[in-house]
Structure 1
Amino acid sequence: MVDQSGVTAAWSRYGEADCIRLVGLAPRAQVRIHPATAVVLGTAPPMAGRLLRDGPDTCFLPRFPFLDGTAYIVTVDGSVVAELTRARADEAATTEVLAIYPSAATVPRNLLRGYVWFSAPMSEGQAAPHVRLVDDAGDVLAGALLATDQELWDAGRRRLTVLLDPARIKRGLAPHREAGYPLRSGVPLRLVVDDGFRDARGRRLRAGADRRWQVADDERRHVDPNAWALHVPPVGTAEPLRLGFDRPLDHGLVARCLRVAGPDGRPVEGVADVGAEERSWRLTPRHGWAPGPHRLAVDPVLEDLAGNSVGRVFDRDLARRTDDPRGARPVEVTFHPA
């Protein structure tokens, strides 16, 4: 729950301890935590505990442990921010990992990021101990994932963005010179999410999950929409427009970086889907395709797996003119339903 000040509260971890994590808390704000029954009955003082900074966030650690099956009211400066219910010890785990991206079997050595999708909102502060890159022997690839002060969640806390350390990917930077790439060409690896990752109710996952990748050579090219295969649907039908990419693209960006406009300039309404291994995309229109020119607009921030976008190469070679940054305007591709 979010109050008007923008403060959010969620179950989390601080080191080895359970806590309530507050995001967006003002420096001198007053925080009170009460069991919900005490609030309803008007009894009992707020819980005793400590407020500790954890990067940009603030964590409340109670003097005595939170009670399973109990709801807690979080107030900031007298306003209710959230009601958080602690899972019961006998409550069955229901949250699971829905998908791990990239879904491609092979990734470039300079892979920049991945995504983990969960079936329900998750606790914050759980990623570092429960998400890791390992080799086929199960050994952790030390320092491969970027340690951040704040985890990278979507608004619903269902999608976690996992970043590899960009300073080890960019040639010329000290971490790259000292430790090299996080990944090695020809050496397979797995992104592992273990079942200890807690959801927003404090429950473990139903099961852990992983994604195994082979590692290929580096990818350092602009994303070029003119290199895509465009399959144009017949006019008057509701068959999908299909795009075939020349390489896997970033799953989190494809969905929001492609738009289609009709001859009247209005967006073509329909259902868009990202294909297997993020190598294709299709748009199935709500109504039949109109005759006349249509425009596919590609946002220049669209990236491949290595962070190369339409507008720039992530780790460019300054001596190569083809790596120079390109315009910040959308790239448009015109097509005519036949």
Structure 2
Amino acid sequence: MNAQSPRFSFTSDTVTLKKPDHSKESHFKVYKGAYTSIHQTLDKKAILGNYAQNNGELYFIPILPFQKNNRYTVVYENEVYPFTIDLDASYKHLQITEVYPNSDTLPSNFLKWYIQFSKPISPSKIYDHISLINNSDNTTVDRALLPLETPLLSDDGTLLTLWIEPGRQKRDLGPNERLGEVLIPGESYTLIIDEHLKDRQGISMKMNFKHSFSVSDPDRKKPSITSWKLQLPLANTKDPIILQYQEQLDYGSLQNTLQIVDTSGNRIKGKFIIAANQKNIYFTPLNNWNKNTYTLKCKPIIEDLSGNNLERLFDQDITAKRTPPILELSFSIE
């Protein structure tokens, strides 16, 4: 495949027919895909676009730019001209930079991963490229992942929330009763995101991503902030408070669910950094700490890896009496 030919030249935005023979029909069509004969294109739809002429040359301008590293074919005078638009030499392919959680062991009623990409990904057909494999027989687990019509992507398109099928993970629901839980204690699995997943420019990853883990018994206990340990800074510094929790918590549920206030109820300005795979959260204040008593306030929606939050269990009987959760921790800085 060449990006240029004696008769045509190609860019991301234009196909140019050089010196068309105006005594003949100079119109041409462009198709997505690589074809070796005109007969292969007869049942295909040509790419939509507009034509223009300038300095004796004929131009085709597609409505959407051609995607780099994809194959196309021009059909002209019963001949075909395949082409690709080459990637820039400096182009950096899409990569997965982090998975939350990245644990080697997960409870059998685990609910969701957060997949961090190096750049925005295309929302089209994401779930076609993601699978869960049972390592014992190397088979794909059926109905393991929840294929949402609109994938859960962050505003910048770089963080994907990937759900294990909740209907199978929650007891007493139809899918759970018919198929059982997705993950079986004692088994091991591999999450695979294949190399054909694309970024927003339509360029695929260069290699498969794999994350393997084993499965432990289900977690059916509510998390509690009373087990958290606080590593406190000294007064008159901007050193961070380090919140250390004993079990891994759900990365997404920790976003925007914490605040620190002083004895007057004033919110302390600063920044929380969640080191999710380290079981730590760091809070760095905008201004120096004073000698004072402060309170860490938490929203009840903070979850563990199995969807149990500070207020309730994921698959708790909704008629069961609930005990109000502890949502505040007080501490003093000296």
Q: Same fold (TM over 0.5)?
A: yes
Aligned to 1:293, the other structure's residue is in SS state: strand
Offset at residue 85 of structure 1 (A)? 5.9
Residue aligning to 1:332:
328
Q: Distance in 2 between matches of 1:84 and 1:243?
A: 48
Residue aligning to 1:121:
120
2:174 matched to 1:178? Answer: no
Q: Distance in 1 between matches of 2:290 and 2:66?
A: 52
2:97 matched to 1:98? Answer: yes
The percent identity for this pair of structures is 25
Contact preservation (8 Å) 1:195, 1:204 = yes
Q: Distance in 1 between matches of 2:66 and 2:267?
A: 43
Contact preservation (8 Å) 1:295, 1:332 = yes
Contact preservation (8 Å) 2:131, 2:145 = yes
Residue aligning to 1:134:
133
Offset at residue 233 of structure 1 (A)? 2.0
Offset at residue 109 of structure 1 (A)? 0.5
TM alignment of 1:150-229, pairs within 5 A: 150-229=150-229
Q: Distance in 2 between matches of 1:296 and 1:125?
A: 41
Aligned to 1:226, the other structure's residue is in SS state: helix
- Opposite residue 173 of structure 1, the aligned amino acid is L
Structure 1 residues 84 and 98 mapped into 2: Cα distance closer, same or farther (>3 Å)? farther
- Opposite residue 249 of structure 1, the aligned amino acid is L
Contact preservation (8 Å) 2:170, 2:315 = yes
Residue aligning to 2:22:
none
Offset at residue 206 of structure 1 (A)? 3.2
- Opposite residue 275 of structure 1, the aligned amino acid is A
Residue aligning to 2:291:
291
Cα RMSD (Å): 3.0
Contact preservation (8 Å) 1:258, 1:296 = yes
Q: Distance in 1 between matches of 2:239 and 2:259?
A: 17
Post-superposition Cα deviations, 1:257-279, rounded to whole Å, max 9, x if no partner, equal 12222345333333422235252
Contact preservation (8 Å) 1:121, 1:156 = yes
Aligned to 1:167, the other structure's residue is in SS state: helix
Q: Distance in 1 between matches of 2:139 and 2:48?
A: 34
Gaps of 5+ in 2: 1-11, 16-26, 32-43, 50-59, 70-83
Structure 1 residues 278 and 163 mapped into 2: Cα distance closer, same or farther (>3 Å)? farther
> Which has more radius of gyration?
2
Offset at residue 308 of structure 1 (A)? 0.9
Q: Distance in 1 between matches of 2:133 and 2:113?
A: 14
Aligned to 2:140, the other structure's residue is in SS state: coil
Contact preservation (8 Å) 1:93, 1:205 = no
TM-score, normalization: structure 2?
Answer: 0.72
Contact preservation (8 Å) 1:168, 1:176 = yes
Structure 1 residues 142 and 134 mapped into 2: Cα distance closer, same or farther (>3 Å)? same
Instruction: Give the number of equivalent residue pairs.
Output: 270
Residue aligning to 2:46:
64
Offset at residue 208 of structure 1 (A)? 2.3
Aligned to 2:139, the other structure's residue is in SS state: coil
Residue aligning to 2:19:
none
Offset at residue 336 of structure 1 (A)? 1.0
Structure 1 residues 319 and 252 mapped into 2: Cα distance closer, same or farther (>3 Å)? closer
